[in-house]
Amino acid sequence: MIFKQYFEPDTSTFTYLLGCERTKQAVLIDTVESEVQHYIKDLEEHGLKLVYTLETHVHADHVTGADTLRQKLGSKSVVHRDAGAMCGDLLVTDGVHIIVGNIDLEVRYTPGHTNGCVSYFAGDRIFTGDALLIGGCGRTDFQSGDSGQLYDSIHAQIFSLDDDVIIYPGHDYNGNTVSTVGEERKNNKRLGNNRSREDFIKLMSELKLAYPKYIDTALPANQACGRVEIPQAS
């Protein structure tokens, strides 16, 4: 498998390219509009055809590149049916398998950060979006977030996996790039060491987090799969 992790520094967002070496088909997970040309360049260099752009949720911190890539390359946008982005070409639910060549991505519904969050499980690795981060987790104070639901999602859908399954998150703000289920189950600052559901809900309720910097632009754009209207010069 061809695999690449991208990092967009302004919003500390990770994007992931997975390509099948046999069929030359590929997917991108959690694209960023400003980085589209980088993805296209790498796809061309590897001779890959982009089949799907996968969203882990409707993002509030950056604009997805899904629509631009759809227009340029003919790829299809994939979101959960409850994400609030009916513009998606494929609206998925828990347990659906997205198969591209030799790549098999199982959709695991992991709501709590938002009510439309999913993680994508590929056997030896899982792409957790904003549900589970390295040493932390997504906030639960907007976009229909629910701390108890996030706790349940992570334990049922991620912490239930083998210790050596690799975790690739949607963001990192501390210079980390990768973790494992075992590491997060043991040492995650918000969820690790068998923290109880009650304690987790209390911890999350006491966080004093700033209003997301780009939410007023990103949220409506992402509900339209990244289709942004560019003001015309007068």
Quick one: pLDDT at residue 228? 64
> What's the pLDDT tens digit per position in 49-63?
999 999 999 888 889
- Is 230's pLDDT higher than 80? no
Look at residue 232 in the predicted model and tell me its pLDDT. 38
pLDDT of residue 231: 40
Please check the confidence at residue 146 and state whether its pLDDT lies above 60: yes
Of 125, 150, 120, the closest CA to residue 138 belongs to 150
pLDDT (0 to 100) of residue 142: 83
According to CATH, what is the number of the domain 2-208? 3.60.15.10
Q: Where are the domains of the chain?
A: 2-208
The rounded distance, in Å, linking the Cα atoms of 175 and 23 is 34
The arithmetic mean of pLDDT across residues 170-195, rounded, is 96
Across 162-170, average pLDDT? 98
Task: State CA 153 to chain mean position distance.
Answer: 15
The phi and psi torsions of 30 (rounded to 5 degrees) equal 55, 65
CA 234 to chain centre: 38
Pure H helices in 56-196: 66-73, 147-157, 181-187
Angle at 114 between CA 58 and CA 193, to 5 degrees: 125
